[in-house]
């Protein structure tokens, strides 16, 4: 079974004003995520604007992720290698494996409409190009293709080891999850959002992709620790706080909102890449500051209310001492 678990960050990429990738700033940011309890990185996915980059740029960010993990060897790296063409996806997958990534993931090829058989061939080719686990990334809003249990089973037969689901279609998601569990399959499912995190946790799901890690990684870390307790009432309260927070802070596209919230945190948030633009207005930044202060206060009050003993996340110094 996969040893990937916990809260994985769909880490944003920082760009310079001219649109080029800002590798030093991105390295600093991703290292900050690890220092604040993030369990792994999902690199060049939707939040990271992988589809707006060349293969060489995505490969450069794979290397940045490897460097960020140097002092946190227990953390996991997943390379999103999905592309509009199979050749590019395979090239990225093989490079990620060579760099030491723990897994690769791919969304279905986008823009053109393809038959299920052609999409199957795309995934099969990626799976067979590497020896590390391959996750299929179900993101129908961006790819235009919605997975089914039967399609997942076909991919499992040729070596698919996991699914990252961003559809939040629990009829589909639970069917895949319980099919794997009941039939003792070596197959790992990741919930691709904080939405329904509590339901997922109660089902036995152990891994999510948490967008909040891009600006409040410490909050996601504390919620994860609360979810590891047996106190269901506290879990409900923590999830409700997080849900209300997300509803308010995600004022537009989640990537844009993440950059604004990161800047509101007082951290360098860089620029985005055209055609995407980040509106760093005083209104949005001040609102994000207020919301972030509130969620930290409320989660800490909840921890105090139930007298939870939540350890500090592993820091750079303790990680490097191992």
Here the tokens at position 287 are 């609102």
Letter string b/e over residues 71-103, b meaning 16 or more CB atoms within 10 A of that residue's CB: bbeebbbbbbbbbeebebbbbbbbbbbeeebbb
Helical spans, DSSP H, in the chain: 23-35, 55-68, 86-99, 116-129, 140-143, 149-156, 170-182, 197-203, 217-227, 232-249, 254-264, 282-305, 316-320
Instruction: Judge residue 185's burial from the number of C-beta atoms within 10 Å of its C-beta, 0-12 exposed, 13-18 middle, 19 or more buried.
Output: middle
Per-residue model confidence as pLDDT tens for the chain (322 residues):
679 999 999 999 999 999 999 999 999 999 999 999 999 999 999 999 999 999 999 999 999 999 999 999 999 999 999 999 999 999 999 999 999 999 999 999 988 889 999 999 999 999 999 999 999 999 988 888 899 999 999 999 999 999 999 988 999 999 999 999 999 999 999 999 999 999 999 999 999 999 999 999 999 999 999 999 999 999 999 999 999 999 999 999 999 999 999 999 999 999 888 999 999 999 999 999 999 999 999 999 999 999 999 998 875 434 333 3
The sign of the dihedral angle between the CA atoms of 150, 152, 155, 159 is negative
CA distance 185 to 27: 36
Contact 230, 311 (CB under 8 A): no
């Amino acid at each position: 079974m996969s040893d990937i678990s916990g809260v994985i960050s769909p880490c944003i990429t920082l760009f310079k004003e001219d649109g080029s990738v800002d590798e030093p700033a991105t390295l600093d940011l991703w290292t900050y995520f690890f220092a604040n309890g993030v369990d792994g990185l999902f690199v060049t996915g939707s939040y990271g604007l992988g589809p707006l980059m060349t293969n060489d740029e995505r490969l450069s960010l794979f290397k940045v992720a490897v460097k960020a993990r140097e002092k946190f060897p227990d953390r996991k790296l997943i390379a999103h290698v999905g592309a509009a063409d199979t050749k590019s996806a395979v090239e990225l997958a093989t490079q990620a494996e060579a760099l030491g990534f723990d897994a690769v993931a791919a969304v279905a090829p986008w823009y053109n409409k393809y038959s299920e058989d052609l999409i199957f061939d795309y995934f099969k080719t990626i799976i067979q190009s590497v020896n590390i686990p391959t996750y299929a990334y179900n993101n129908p809003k961006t790819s235009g293709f919605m997975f089914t249990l039967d399609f997942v089973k076909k991919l499992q037969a040729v070596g698919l080891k996991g699914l990252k689901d961003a559809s939040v279609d629990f009829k589909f998601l639970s069917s895949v999850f319980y099919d794997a569990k009941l039939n003792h399959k070596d197959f790992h499912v990741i919930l691709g959002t904080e939405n329904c995190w509590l339901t997922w946790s109660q089902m036995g799901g152990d891994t999510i992709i948490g967008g909040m890690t891009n600006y409040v990684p410490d909050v996601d870390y504390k919620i994860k620790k609360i979810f590891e307790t047996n106190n269901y009432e506290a879990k409900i309260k923590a999830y409700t706080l997080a849900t209300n927070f997300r509803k308010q802070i995600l004022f537009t596209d989640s990537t844009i909102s993440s950059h604004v919230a990161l800047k509101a945190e007082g951290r360098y948030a860089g620029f985005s890449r055209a055609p995407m633009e980040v509106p760093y207005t005083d209104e949005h930044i001040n609102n994000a500051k207020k919301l972030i202060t509130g969620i930290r206060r409320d989660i800490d009050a909840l921890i105090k209310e139930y007298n939870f003993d939540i350890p500090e996340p592993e820091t750079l110094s303790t990680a490097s001492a191992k």
